[in-house]
Each structure stands twice: as C-alpha cells, then as structure tokens.
Amino acid sequence: MNLLKIIWLIKITSFAFINTAAQTNCNTKFLEAKYDEINILQNIPYQIAKNFIGNNKTYHLDLYEAKYDTNTKRPLIVFFYGGGFIQGNKEQPAIVEMCDSFAKRGYVAAAINYRLGTNGSSSSMIRAIYRGVQDGSAALRFLSYHADLFKIDTNNIVLAGNSAGAFVAMHLAFLQDNERPTESYGNNVTSDLGCISCSGNLFPQHAKPKAVIDLWGALYDSTIRGINDSIPLLVYHGSEDPSVPFDKGKPYNISTLTSINGALPIYNQSIENNLPVEFNPIYGSGHGPWGGKNGEFTSEHPKTPFFSRIVNNMLTFSQHHLKPKNKLQVKGERSPNVGKIYRYIIKNKKSTNSYSYSVVGGDLVSKNDSSITIIWHHHNNPHIILTEVNQIGLCGEATTFNVKLDDIPLQVYPNPTSNSFNINNSNLNINNVIVLNINGKELINISQKFEKNINIDLSYYPKGMYLVKIITENQFNLSKINRL
C-alpha cells in the first residue's frame, strides 16, 4: 500500500495511530493478581553477622515469585517482621500472606530474618534497631548484587515492615551514617557496631528504595526523616496502641526506656518538611489492627477486615510510587502544514526507559529513542500523546502535545458551476485529478504534473453532483461540485 493510499485511509476514518505494543496495562499492572502459582526460594543465606551475644551466625531470607513470570525486570518488595526485637521470624503468617499477595501481582517479594536480642535497656533497644538496619542493608546489597539471577530491577524497590520490622524499614530508608545513634559506637562494655553497610557481607552498596511502608512502627528520633528524605512513606497505626506509641512515648509504657516517635510525630515532621506521606490513623485500634497475635492468626486472634484493606492500599501505594515521575517534554512544530513531515524531539526521558505514544490526526513515519517523525493530515483535534515507560512496564504521567494544522489552501470554484470549474494549484504540486459521478464511476482522469491552475470541463456531462479527487505529492483531497 503506497503512502498516498495510507493517508487517504487515515483521513477518511479519522484514525488515531496508537503504539499498542508499548501501551501496557499501566493502570492495573502490579495491582491485580495475574499469577496463580508461587515459587518460594527458602532459606537463602545473605550474611554472616555477630548476634546479640557476639557469636557469628548465618542469616537467611526467603524469596517469593510467580511461577510462570517471564519478566526479567521485576520490582522488589522487602518485608521485615515484627516481634519487639526479641521474637519473630520470616515465616510469620502475616508476612507470608503479604509476600504471596505481592508475588501474584508480579513482584519479587523477600522476607528477611534479621538479628534479634535486647536486654530491655534504652541503649540496647537502639542497638537492636541499628543491627536490624545493618541486616536490612546487607540483604539489599545481596539482592542487588544478584539482581540478574533473581530478575529484580534494583531501581524499583519498596521496603515494608510491621511493628519492629517497620522500625527497621524506616530507619534503613532514612538513617544516614552521619546520623548513627551514639549507642551504636559502643563503649567499654559494648562493641562498635560499625557503619550501616559495614556488616554481614562485602557486596557493593545498594540502591535507595522508591517507597517505604510503616505498619505501626516508630523512629527513635523523628528528625531522622530530614528535609532531604523524600522517599514516600505510607503509615498505618492504631491510635490506642499500647506497645508502640501512636504519639511520642515510651514503648510498652516502660518508664526506663527512651521515648520513641510513632505515627503522629512522623506525620507532623513529614508535613513540616514538605515530604511525601500518606497517613492512615486507625482510631480506637490497638497494636496490629489487622488482627492476630505476634504475627500469628488463630481462632482466638483472627485476622480482621483491616488486613485486606491495608494490603490492597500497600499495593496501590507501591505501584503509584514505582511509576516514572518525570513528565516527558516534546519539542517541535506546533503549526505544521498538512501533508508535510515533521520531527518531534522527546526530552526529559530517563535513558533506560522507553515511551509509549499515540498520534491523532497524523501518521507515524519513524521513531527512535529520542524522537518521532509524523506526517500530518486533516483532523478536528490533532495531537501527540507521549508516556514514559520504565523497565518494569509502568507508565508515568501522559504528555499531550497539541498542534494546529496549517492547511495549504485548496479551492475548487465556482461551485456550483454551469459548465466547468477551476482548481487552485498554488504551491500544491497536484499530480492527479479524477472526477467521478455520484455512483463512483470514473469520468475524468488526468494524471500529470500540473504547473498552474487547472480547468476541468463538465459541459459534456449531465447536470448533477460530482466528486473531485485531487492527489498531491503528500496529501489527498475529496471535494463535491454541483453542476447546475
């Protein structure tokens, strides 16, 4: 099919050219359960570290993935369980169920065993939090180093935790080495725990997470989330939590422990610093509003309806913040001529990402990583829509680039006519003129390079309506003329 015929078909049908291959299901990807079966890679060793009593111990993680997921770039969500830094493990039913939910939607989900142990003092509690952060860092370094093996996109990581696990997740996201708690340096009784990434393994530094989920956790200092900590935070917390205070207070109401900062001060500090936060206080609820006890769901401590609501919002929050954030910019002619070819430059696209596109009122001629070339034709609302698509197939905010077509004047006159009519050939480069009767029968066909205005004689044909097909180098026009 030649170019003129393509343009003619597009013009007659007002067709919008859409890159359907790149137009992924951006609105539902990673939200709906796409897979039924899950593989669990259990007890993968990720570090050797000194435990609470100073002995070297190997720590493990479990990886959950969809059994038939063939994608080579998948988002990673890392879960840290709760238990007050004295109990718990990666097999807690709540952790397993969340990992299963995310894996069925296309994530790689990791459940991490981290170091436990505290003697009940304030300094010991803060050292326990810091060891958990070191372990989380070691796990992320391990997973980042083996990203190709596990088909993980290290640019798209989410951290999540409940209770003590939320302490680990938030401090891992926000705490910097220059903010290390004094207690982590040790003294004449305790050893120096070292820098955040100085424990567990020797793998290189990991990428920063794109989002963090805090389920009834706390920060030992609310200022840890400083003005530069722009990683989005999702917070859930029961207002009547007796274990981890909703406001600023002492855990378990133990007077000898240092005060910590629950959901409310974390939220207030985030708002004060203009940092992204989604705050979900559950008024009247205690610790772990989703039910269970110590991470276990039993007939005596069943799962509540909050569980599915929280998990669904975790999925929505994570997907939203994994999307590309830079809105594409387009540079090119906004008043193009019909039938001419124009190149449009795509700016602000991350080099590793692709883009999806649709063209209304024009035909795509070619494209590459940084531009598209379009031949415009008639349409009521001609425009280009461009959307950045990242490595895991999520789309950013669409950019619409509107154009106003500058039609080359084409005049068929006089109309109506008694015998003949003229066609204005000014700058049109008309090559072919065809006249048909109202039934589509061809009556006149003149094919040549016209150098001046054209006169067509209809005096030999009966009175009535005729169709005039005019073909130029780059466009097609169909007009009606009435012979009286």
**Mean of pLDDT over the chain:** 89
Q: Where are the beta strands (DSSP E) in 151-199?
A: 152-162
Catalogue all structural domains in the chain, each as residue range(s) with its CATH number.
Answer: 3-22+325-402 (2.60.40), 38-322 (3.40.50.1820), 412-483 (2.60.40)
- Residues 124-134 have pLDDT tens digits of 999 999 999 99
pLDDT at 1: 41
First-residue to last-residue Cα distance in the chain: 37
The yes-or-no verdict on residue 9 having pLDDT over 50 is no
- Residues 375-416 have pLDDT tens digits of 887 667 899 999 999 999 999 999 999 999 876 566 787 889
pLDDT at 361: 84
Whether residue 276 contacts residue 232, with contact meaning beta carbons closer than 8 Å, is answered with yes
The yes-or-no verdict on residue 67 having pLDDT over 80 is yes
Query: Of 244, 246, 287, 283, which is closest to residue 265 (Cα–Cα)?
Result: 246
Dihedrals φ, ψ of 357, to 5°? -150, 155
- Residues 321-336 have pLDDT tens digits of 999 988 899 999 999 9
pLDDT mean over 93-121: 97
Residue 226's pLDDT band, with cuts at 50, 70 and 90, is confident
Locate tokens 């530069």: which residue? 228
Whether residue 159 contacts residue 173, with contact meaning beta carbons closer than 8 Å, is answered with yes
The encoded tokens of residue 272 equal 């004060």
> If DSSP codes are grouped into helix, strand and coil, which group holds residue 112?
strand
Comparing 447 with 449, the larger pLDDT belongs to 447
The encoded tokens of residue 102 equal 């995310």
- Residues 153-200 have pLDDT tens digits of 999 999 999 999 999 999 999 999 999 999 999 888 899 999 999 999
What is the rounded radius of gyration, in angstroms, for the C-alpha atoms of the chain? 33
Residue 223's pLDDT band, with cuts at 50, 70 and 90, is confident
The yes-or-no verdict on residue 27 having pLDDT over 90 is no
Considering the chain, what percentage of its residues have pLDDT values greater than 90?
71
Query: Of 263, 265, 242, which is closest to residue 253 (Cα–Cα)?
Result: 242
Rounded CA-CA distance 389/356 in Å is: 7
Report the DSSP beta bridge partners of residue 433.
446, 470
> CB atoms < 10 A from the CB of 225, how many?
25
Give Dmax (Cα) for the chain.
114
CA distances from 279 to 102, 205, 216, 235, 275 (A): 22, 30, 11, 5, 12
pLDDT at 75: 98
The yes-or-no verdict on residue 7 having pLDDT over 60 is no
Whether residue 287 contacts residue 242, with contact meaning beta carbons closer than 8 Å, is answered with yes
Whether residue 158 contacts residue 78, with contact meaning beta carbons closer than 8 Å, is answered with yes
The pTM (predicted TM-score) of the whole model is 0.81
Whether residue 73 contacts residue 147, with contact meaning beta carbons closer than 8 Å, is answered with no
Residue 447's pLDDT band, with cuts at 50, 70 and 90, is confident
pLDDT at 426: 58
Tell me the one-letter amino acid at 21.
A
Report the DSSP beta bridge partners of residue 399.
386
